[in-house]
Amino acid sequence: MSAITIYTTPTCGFCKMVKQYLTSKDIEFDTKDITTDAGAYDEILEKSDQLGVPVVDVDGTIIVGFDRNKLDVVLREKKIM
């Protein structure tokens, strides 16, 4: 299991952008589709207190939305990038 989980939906453009960004950096991640995975739906609500996607969990640090700068900072802090 990866240290990064992206909570997503199939129609979310920002979800696709964050996945493409991490892929371009050769960073592995897992995805959880909140529309088909009831457990993921509950997890996103617990972790972020809302249902907007994407929610990126980087080894316990939660980032709501595709915030490239914050994501880069967290990836460096966690020594993933």
Q: What is the model's pLDDT at position 66? A: 97
Domain that includes residue 57, residue range: 4-77
| Residue of 64, 54, 47 lying closest to 32 (CA atoms) | 54
Q: Give me the CATH number covering residue 71.
A: 3.40.30.10
Q: In the chain, how many H helices and how many E strands? A: 3, 4
Q: For the segment 10-22, what is each residue's pLDDT rounded down to a tens digit?
A: 999 999 999 999 9
Q: What is the model's pLDDT at position 1? A: 55
Domain count, the chain: 1
pTM metric for this prediction: 0.93
- Cβ burial of 46 (10 Å; 0-12, 13-18, 19+) is exposed
